[in-house]
Amino acid sequence: MASGSDIEASGKEVEVVYSENVGVGKSIPVNAYRFQDPEDDNAPKSALEKRLLLKQDLLIVPLAALIYLVTYLDRNSFGNGKLLGLTKELHLDANQYADAAQLFYVGYVVFMIPANIILRTIEPYIIFGAAIISFGTFLCGMSAAKNFATVLVLRMLIGAGQAFVQGIGMSTSLWYKRREIALRGAIYYSTATLSGAFSGLIAYGIGKNMTNTSRSPWQWLFLIEGLIAVGSGILVLALFPPFPDKMKNGENWLFTKEEIELAKERSKSFNTEGSKFEFHQVIAAIKDPKTWAYAFMNAGIGMCLSTVSIFLPSFIADFGYTDLNAQLFSVIPYACAFVILPSCAFISDKINKKGPFIIGGLVFACIGYIILLTTAPVGAKMMATCFITSGLYTCIVLTVTWLGINTGGFTKRGFTWGVAEVFAQVFSIMGTKLYKYPPRYLQGHSIMLAFLLFATLNGALLWWWMAYCNKKKDRILEEYASRNEVHPHAEKSLEEVYDYHIYFRYTL
């Protein structure tokens, strides 16, 4: 098979043999090939490409992991703060606590789509670094809250700040190929599961050792985790790289010019160099039924994930554990997810399939909620929480990946993910209102189960539809080949015709 560099150099039509993920064999012009992932993606890489990937993996992935760690550390702090005396000291009833929990998502929803769209306008290190510093500062401020109103305002501001860091998946899509994203995404997103464990351990340590100090335990929790975020934001601001096609002089402190040129070439597997905000892509995303299928699927996953992050310690406490031990035992489900998530992502990249793993994760989460709805023994219920967290975290990472690698056009991709996240956060607001009736929380668990079943249906429909579209494109190309004609899309980029491009194939 001809390599991307061979095709780039020739400037002529060449015979390209496609894999299942690309299409049928055909003579096509140069620019019809650039955004494809050829079959030799798994072939031995050059020394230059190995060096580039190593640098990316040692810089971008750890920084992305740090971003997710502090983001979810701060997000989980509200649930842990409740068990450390937040509601008692500020005299918050169940409705007020739920209101404060949901205000986070209001701030998040308002800024989610703009945050994704401006990614190609403002440098990512500025967006991510400033956002982390902001929500870390707001969390520190919440440690000094004296009343319900202050908690409401600061929760909304924390949500607004966190909306700007969710573009990390879109950012990495300009550095990695389609078959490289899921594993990296799982590695850095798995720190979100790790943050749940860390948050539980930090809360346990504070509750055990810092009860007789000048501050209440919940205040120490918010102050410590907020300061961790501020320090992390400064680090991200200093180290996170610009996009490859926007680096001054084509290099920076870590990457050489040759490596950046290769990074830009690799990015063409499903990106267009110099892409910017295009309003027509927003319209295309709105008209695309896949946008709404992703949105409804993400709504169910996001709503369940958000309620788990807030209420998991309460679920475990109601299994019969003390508040302090519930903090400690909340580590177990997150530890399970930390192992399961990267394992599934690794296999999904190897076999180049995402849909089966997403649907499988949804089914496992559904089983977990069914167990919680029964009168099963405590051990079974702890296992159920492991099913839920492992299934949900696997689904959220692979859904982001599935959406990203199957949406052509950077603005369309960003808008589609923004819509999916808005749906998730809007439904998360509703989710925070559903867990009012302990100890079994039958209402909340039943509604979570129903939405996960609906998400499973949407995932199955997406899987079927994209497989149908791939076969349809193959048939069309065969018809053009039989007439010895080249399809009009051969001269167009993904920025012009998006994932409808005749040579683009969806990853199933």
Going by C-beta distance under 8 Å and a sequence separation of 6 or more, which residues neighbour residue 471? Answer: none
Residue of higher predicted confidence among 398 and 169 = 398
User: Angle, to 10 degrees, between the axis of helix 289-317 and the axis of helix 355-373?
Assistant: 40
Reading the block at residue 150, the tokens are 């202050």
Q: What is the pLDDT of residues 343-354, one digit of tens each?
A: 998 898 888 899
169 and 212 fall within a common domain: yes
Cβ count near 485 (within 10 Å): 10
Determine phi and psi for 215, rounding to 5 degrees: -120, 155
413 and 475 fall within a common domain: no
170 and 108 fall within a common domain: yes
Report CA dihedral (454, 303, 379, 69) to the nearest 10 degrees: 130
As a whole number, mean pLDDT of residues 129-137 equals 94
Region of poorest pLDDT, from 92-96, 319-323, 392-396, 449-453 = 319-323
Q: What is the pLDDT of residues 370-410, one digit of tens each?
A: 998 988 888 888 899 899 999 998 998 899 889 988 988 88
Examine the pLDDT at 37 and tell me if it is beyond 90.
no
407 and 491 fall within a common domain: no
481 and 398 fall within a common domain: no
Calpha distance 471→327 (Å, rounded): 51
Reading the block at residue 44, the tokens are 């031995």
The answer to the question of residue 264 being in a domain is: no
494 and 388 fall within a common domain: no
As a whole number, mean pLDDT of residues 274-300 equals 87
The answer to the question of residue 269 being in a domain is: no
452 and 493 fall within a common domain: no
The answer to the question of residue 429 being in a domain is: yes
Q: What does the pLDDT read at residue 209?
A: 80
Residue of higher predicted confidence among 360 and 12 = 360
Calpha distance 508→45 (Å, rounded): 25
458 and 478 fall within a common domain: no
> Residue with structure tokens 């401020």?
141
162 and 176 fall within a common domain: yes
Q: What does the pLDDT read at residue 269?
A: 65
Q: What does the pLDDT read at residue 268?
A: 67
Q: Domain limits at 341?
A: 53-247+277-467
The answer to whether residues 477 and 487 touch, using CB atoms and an 8 Å cutoff, is yes
Q: What is the pLDDT of residues 261-270, one digit of tens each?
A: 888 877 766 6
The answer to the question of residue 266 being in a domain is: no
The answer to the question of residue 48 being in a domain is: no
Calpha distance 473→193 (Å, rounded): 39
Q: What does the pLDDT read at residue 232?
A: 94
Calpha distance 159→161 (Å, rounded): 5
Region of poorest pLDDT, from 45-49, 265-269, 448-452 = 265-269
Q: What does the pLDDT read at residue 271?
A: 62
Calpha distance 319→100 (Å, rounded): 25
Question: 427: domain CATH number?
Answer: 1.20.1250.20
The answer to the question of residue 47 being in a domain is: no
The answer to the question of residue 507 being in a domain is: no
Domain count within the chain: 2
**Average pLDDT of every residue of the chain:** 82
26 and 124 fall within a common domain: no
Q: Is 265 exposed, middle or buried (0-12, 13-18, 19+ CB in 10 A)?
A: middle
Examine the pLDDT at 18 and tell me if it is beyond 60.
no
Q: What does the pLDDT read at residue 29?
A: 44
The answer to the question of residue 265 being in a domain is: no
Region of poorest pLDDT, from 64-73, 197-206, 280-289, 361-370 = 197-206
As a whole number, mean pLDDT of residues 239-262 equals 81
232 and 368 fall within a common domain: yes
Q: What does the pLDDT read at residue 296?
A: 94
203 and 293 fall within a common domain: yes
Q: What is the pLDDT of residues 171-203, one digit of tens each?
A: 887 888 878 888 888 888 888 777 777 877 888
Under the banding of pLDDT at 50, 70 and 90, the label for residue 129 is very high
Q: Where is 499: in which H helix or E strand?
A: none
